[in-house]
Structures are given as C-alpha cells and as structure tokens.
Amino acid sequence: MKPTFHISLPCLNIEETIKFYTENLGFECGRKNTKWVDINLFNNQLTFVLADQFNFEYPSYSFEKDILPSFHFGVVLDTKTWEEMYQKVSYNSSEDIMQKTFLKDKNGEHISFFIKDPNGYTLEFKHFLKEDLMFAS
C-alpha cells in the first residue's frame, strides 16, 4: 500500500460537510453514519466526526507579506490536477479564489490557493514548480 495520511477532525454538520467535499470539491464519500464520515482526499483519509461544540484558536502568521492561518491542511498536487481543482473550486465558489505564488525564484517555489469548508477549516491546494525541491532548505 502506498503511504497515505489520516486525519480526524470535529465538524458541526455531517450533511453540510459531505455536500461541500463531494459536490463542491468532487471528492468521494467513503464509510459514514450519522456521527462521522470518511472523505477520500486524493487517496488520503479525511474523517469528520460530529461534535456539538468545538473551538480552535486560529492564530495566523506572516509569510512573504501575506497573513496565513497557522492551522490549515491540504494536498500537494501535480500541475494538471492542481489546475483542474482550481477551476472546479473557482466555478463552485461564491467567493473569488485567488492563487498565489510563494517563494518566487527560491527553493520550494509553489503556487497555492486556499478555501474554507463549512466547519471553518482552511484547506490549501499546492503545486511545486520543481517537485524535487518540496523539502529543500
């Protein structure tokens, strides 16, 4: 089996979460019941568990003059898949989805876009211009 990650996060509404990830983003829904759901995030297991209340502090940080949320997650994609996701998300979103290049002309140069899900989580979709420099210092 190819290595994949699993993350489990609390959510406010299972049905809204399923709708966002399947209809807006086009991901498959896996096992589910009334209290949790598995989402296939590019062959990674993203589990949402119904929680009456939860609160995350969302401190942010400055990166290249941009303010980014310190709590976020996402996937690194190849060029074609990143462009397809960007088009899909831009088409399905009521907000302007802006793409941004980070570390221009440096090791780790990449383009990203960020979106929020119905639970307030920020997702980042990222593409490295030189994949082999993803972890370069």
Confidence at residue 88, expressed as pLDDT on a 0 to 100 scale? 93
For tokens 């989580």, what's the residue?
121
Render pLDDT for 35-72 as a digit per residue (tens, 0 to 9).
999 999 999 999 999 998 877 777 788 888 888 887 88
For residues 55, 26, 135, 111, the Cα torsion angle rounded to the nearest 10 degrees is -100
Mean pLDDT of the chain: 90
User: Regarding the domain with residue range 60-133, which homologous superfamily does it belong to in the CATH classification?
Assistant: 2,3-Dihydroxybiphenyl 1,2-Dioxygenase, domain 1 (3.10.180.10)
Two tokens, residue 127: 């593409």
3-class secondary-structure state, position 79? helix
All CATH 3.10.180.10 domain ranges of the chain, comma separated, are 6-50, 60-133
Res. 96 pLDDT band, cuts 50 70 90: confident
User: Regarding the domain with residue range 6-50, which homologous superfamily does it belong to in the CATH classification?
Assistant: 2,3-Dihydroxybiphenyl 1,2-Dioxygenase, domain 1 (3.10.180.10)
Examine the pLDDT at 102 and tell me if it is beyond 80: yes
Instruction: List C-alpha distances in Å: 49 to 12, 20, 65, 73, 132.
Output: 8, 15, 35, 17, 35
